[in-house]
Amino acid sequence: MRIKLINPNTTQRMTDSMARCAREVAAPGTEIIAVSPTMGPPSIEGYYDEALASLGLLAEVEAGERQGVDAYVIACFGDPALYAARELARGPVIGIAEAAMHAASVIAPGFSVVTTLRRTCGMAWHLAERYGMSRFCKNVRATNVAVLELDEPGSAARATIIDECRRALDEDGSDAIVLGCAGMAEFCREVEAAIGAPVVEGVTAAVKWAEALAALKLHTAKRGDYARPLAKRYDGVLADFSPR
């Protein structure tokens, strides 16, 4: 089985970190293909970043279809271009916010999302509503740690995140934490040990979900909303993205 993990930003060291986490949980025989697009923003911290990152992400999905990939993980907590990717892909496509929130809703009656910048909190709330998770999501809390700070040597990011997770448990009445950024994946277990409560991060949750759906031989429906894009000519710099 081949699962393509797409980090929609262009920061390769973050992709490498996600790949390590994904391979730790993947079943024997599952190949993780971890990639970053060749174009786009170095981090995704708002709707503008997300929109521009979507083109490179979709190009990677199209490439995956030519490579015979079985399933895809979109490794950004905003789940950018998730539905568009499903139009292109034959196999399952899982967003990490989608996977993490669903996993948390199974193991706890309520969870808090602890994310990066305050400006992204609304995005997380919108996703919780989209996925039917509003009744489980007690709060979305910002640490005001920028995405690119997460793996900087000497950064206080981990300590800041742990402190915010503790406050979430105490103040929100939550029983579990969802880490609201793919860049937090590699220190999930460290946070869990520090706060004494379940911590879910979406990269590994999405990998296992994608793996299960692919093992069940389930494919993305090609009627209705997830049908292939209609063939037409796109203009200008988007000419290469014209559906065929």
Question: In terms of Cα–Cα distance, which of 4, 171, 206 is closest to 95?
Answer: 206
Question: d(Cα 130, Cα 98) in Å, to the nearest integer?
Answer: 9
- Residue ranges and CATH numbers for the domains of the chain are 2-96+204-241 (3.40.50.12500), 98-201 (3.40.50.12500)
* Chain centroid to CA 93: 11
Nearest-5° Cα angle at 206, 187 to 173: 60
Q: Write the burial class of residue 154 (CB in 10 Å: 0-12 exposed, 13-18 middle, 19+ buried).
A: exposed
pLDDT bracket for residue 154 (50, 70, 90): low
Q: Write the burial class of residue 99 (CB in 10 Å: 0-12 exposed, 13-18 middle, 19+ buried).
A: buried
pLDDT in tens, 20-44: 999 999 999 999 999 999 999 999 9
pLDDT in tens, 86-138: 999 999 999 999 999 999 999 999 999 999 999 999 999 999 999 999 999 99
Question: In terms of Cα–Cα distance, which of 178, 213, 200 is closest to 3?
Answer: 213
Alpha helices in 173-236, H assignment, sequence order: 188-195, 202-215
Average pLDDT over residues 164-175: 97
For tokens 């509503």, what's the residue?
129
Q: Where is 6: in which H helix or E strand? A: strand 2-6
Q: Give SS3 for 217.
A: coil
* Chain centroid to CA 65: 20
Q: Which value, in Å, is the radius of gyration of the alpha carbons in the chain?
A: 17
Residue 209 confidence (pLDDT) above 80: yes
- Sign, Cα dihedral of 72, 77, 79, 80: negative
Note the residue count of the chain: 244
pLDDT in tens, 123-136: 999 999 999 999 99
Query: In 10 A of CB 174, how many CB atoms?
Result: 25
User: Can you give 23-47 as a three-state secondary structure string?
Assistant: HHHCCCCCEEEEECCCCCCCCCCCH
CB 80 within 8 A of CB 103: no
Provide DSSP, 90-137.
Answer: SS-EEEHHHHHHHHHHHH-S-EEEEES-GGGHHHHHHHHHHTT-TTTE
pLDDT, position 152: 73
